[in-house]
C-alpha cells in the first residue's frame, strides 16, 4: 500500500473503489532539492500530497526569504489563497529535500468532486488543517517570547531542527538569525 493510500484509509471514510477512483486523478511528481513547487507571481492550480520529503513556504520581503511554514511527508501542500481566490501567489513553495508528491490539478479536483461529491471532504480537510496551524502560529507569535516559541515549535515538530535551515526557522519565529543562534547556544 502506498503512503497516500494508508493516509486515506486512516483519515477518510472512502471505500476501496472510491479510493481507486480518487487516485486515478493524481499523478506522481518528483521535485529535486532547491526546486520549486510554486513561485510567487504564478497562479496555484494544484494540490499535492507529500509522500516523501519536505518543503518550505516563504515570501520574498526586501530581498529576504521570510518563511511562513514547513510541510513534511504525509501532509498536503498548496497555496490556498491563490487556489481559491484565483489570484497570483505571494509565496514560494520550495523543496528542502528531494520530494515525492502525488499531485492533482485544480481542474481534476473539481471534476472529481463533480463525479464523487463527497471528495469535497479533501478540500475541507485541507482548509481546516491550514486554519488550525496558522491560527496557532499567530497566537504563538503574539503571546510567546521568541525563546518559548522556539522550544514549543521544536517539541511539537522535531523535524524542524534537522531538516530546516536556521534562517527559515528564524523568520518563521519572526526573529533575526542571530537571535535564534543565541537561543540555540543556550540549550
Residues at the site binding its own copies, with contacts judged by CB under 8 A:
59, 61, 66, 68, 80-81, 84, 117-118, 120, 123-124, 127-128, 130-132, 134-135, 137-139, 141-143, 171-174
* Grid coordinates of 106: 485544480
Whole-number Cα distances in Å, 33 to 75, 95, 99, 113: 18, 5, 7, 32
User: Which lies closer to its own copies via its Cβ, residue 45 or residue 66?
Assistant: 66
Our measurement of the distance from residue 170's CA atom to the centroid of its chain's CA atoms, rounded to an integer in Å, reads 18
Contact 30, 100 (CB under 8 A): yes
User: Which lies closer to its own copies via its Cβ, residue 102 or residue 119?
Assistant: 119
Pick from 50, 42, 87, 86: nearest CA to 69: 50
- Least distance in Å: CB of 1 to its own copies? 27
User: Which lies closer to its own copies via its Cβ, residue 42 or residue 98?
Assistant: 42
- Least distance in Å: CB of 16 to its own copies? 22
User: Which lies closer to its own copies via its Cβ, residue 88 or residue 139?
Assistant: 139
User: Which lies closer to its own copies via its Cβ, residue 76 or residue 100?
Assistant: 76
> Which regions of the chain does DSSP assign to beta strands (E)?
27-31, 36-38, 46-52, 54-61, 64-72, 75-77, 91-95, 99-105
Strand partners, 54: 72
- Least distance in Å: CB of 100 to its own copies? 26
- Least distance in Å: CB of 98 to its own copies? 27
- Least distance in Å: CB of 6 to its own copies? 21
Amino acid at each position: 500500500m502506498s503512503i497516500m493510500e494508508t493516509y486515506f484509509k486512516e483519515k477518510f471514510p472512502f471505500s476501496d473503489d472510491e479510493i481507486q477512483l480518487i487516485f486515478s486523478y493524481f499523478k506522481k511528481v518528483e521535485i529535486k532539492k532547491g526546486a520549486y513547487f510554486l513561485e510567487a507571481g504564478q497562479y496555484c492550480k494544484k494540490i499535492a500530497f507529500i509522500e516523501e520529503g519536505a518543503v518550505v513556504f516563504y515570501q520574498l520581503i526586501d530581498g529576504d526569504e521570510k518563511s511562513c511554514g514547513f510541510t513534511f511527508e504525509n501532509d498536503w501542500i498548496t497555496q490556498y489563497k491563490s487556489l481559491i481566490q484565483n489570484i497570483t501567489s505571494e509565496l514560494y513553495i520550495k523543496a528542502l529535500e528531494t520530494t515525492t508528491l502525488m499531485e492533482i490539478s485544480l481542474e481534476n479536483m473539481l471534476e472529481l468532486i463533480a463525479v464523487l461529491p463527497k471528495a469535497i471532504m479533501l478540500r475541507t480537510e485541507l482548509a481546516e488543517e491550514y486554519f488550525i496551524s496558522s491560527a496557532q502560529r499567530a497566537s504563538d507569535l503574539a503571546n510567546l517570547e521568541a525563546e518559548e516559541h522556539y522550544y514549543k515549535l521544536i517539541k511539537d515538530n522535531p523535524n524542524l531542527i534537522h531538516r530546516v535551515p536556521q534562517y527559515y526557522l528564524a523568520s518563521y519565529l519572526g526573529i533575526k538569525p542571530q537571535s535564534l543562534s543565541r537561543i540555540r547556544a543556550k540549550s
